[in-house]
Chains A and B, each alone.
Chain A
């Protein structure tokens, strides 16, 4: 069965420090992987995706993520955290192309960046 795991409910980092939000997945075939962010009382915003090619993908707001096929992981990273990065982060995966294939969502990780 396809699944996504975000092993940490909450991540706390100090402003200016690097941050990592973890995501592992289980899906047959080649995965399409996504990160979304949800700011308080807002909808979800697309951050970045991995489809194919370079394992390191760059997205919005200075975020990047590294696809690791052997570890089935897609961790979200940022070199220097900002207080404004505090939000709820969701990892999602789908199995290959085709717009009728549902996204499988992680449970989300709450990121708190402390000034």
Chain B
């Protein structure tokens, strides 16, 4: 299994500001995924980040709001731009396990954002 570190673990942000979340993996991985978990809800995939190409966004998520970088095979960032209280969520970084064909995911500890 991969060890995934996320920073920050939590933050309180003001409306209209932006925050960048970092995700560091202890091994090289092809695909990294960013999820959002709103209070009391399940996980929603925001985008898939591949090294060397643009991220692929899911329906309802756009690059202007959630820009993603993937500069190498062990690191990615997700920025939440122009935040509003509706962006208060846990943001989770994940990677596919060693057996990419079966596709179990491993997750970071999450970044809990509160927007005032």
Using Cβ atoms and an 8 Å threshold, which residues of chain A touch B106? 46
> Which residue of B41, B94, B102, B110 is within 8 Å of A42 (Cβ)?
B110
B97 near A46: Cβ-Cβ < 8 Å: yes
8 A Cβ contacts from B35-54 to A: 41-43, 45, 48
> Which residue of B4, B42, B102 is within 8 Å of A90 (Cβ)?
B42
Stretch at the interface among A21-29, A62-70, A79-87, A96-104: A96-104
Distance in angstroms between the alpha carbons of A98 and B103 in the assembled complex: 7
Is B13 at the interface (CB under 8 A from chain A)? no
Q: A-B contact count, CB below 8 Å?
A: 58
Using Cβ atoms and an 8 Å threshold, which residues of chain B touch A36? 105, 107
> Which residue of A43, A49, A100 is within 8 Å of B92 (Cβ)?
A43
Contact pattern, A 25-47, Cβ under 8 Å of B = 1, otherwise 0:
00000001010100001111110
Distance in angstroms between the alpha carbons of A45 and B48 in the assembled complex: 19
Using Cβ atoms and an 8 Å threshold, which residues of chain B touch A44? 43, 92, 94, 105, 107
- Contacts A105-B43, A106-B42, A107-B41; A98 near B110 (Cβ below 8 A): no
> What are 23 A-B pairs at a CB distance below 8 A?
A32-B102, A34-B104, A34-B105, A44-B43, A44-B92, A44-B94, A44-B105, A44-B107, A46-B97, A46-B105, A46-B106, A51-B102, A90-B43, A94-B103, A97-B102, A98-B103, A99-B30, A99-B100, A100-B31, A101-B103, A103-B103, A105-B42, A107-B41
**A46-B105, A101-B103 given. 5 additional CB < 8 A pairs?**
A43-B6, A44-B107, A46-B1, A49-B104, A102-B58
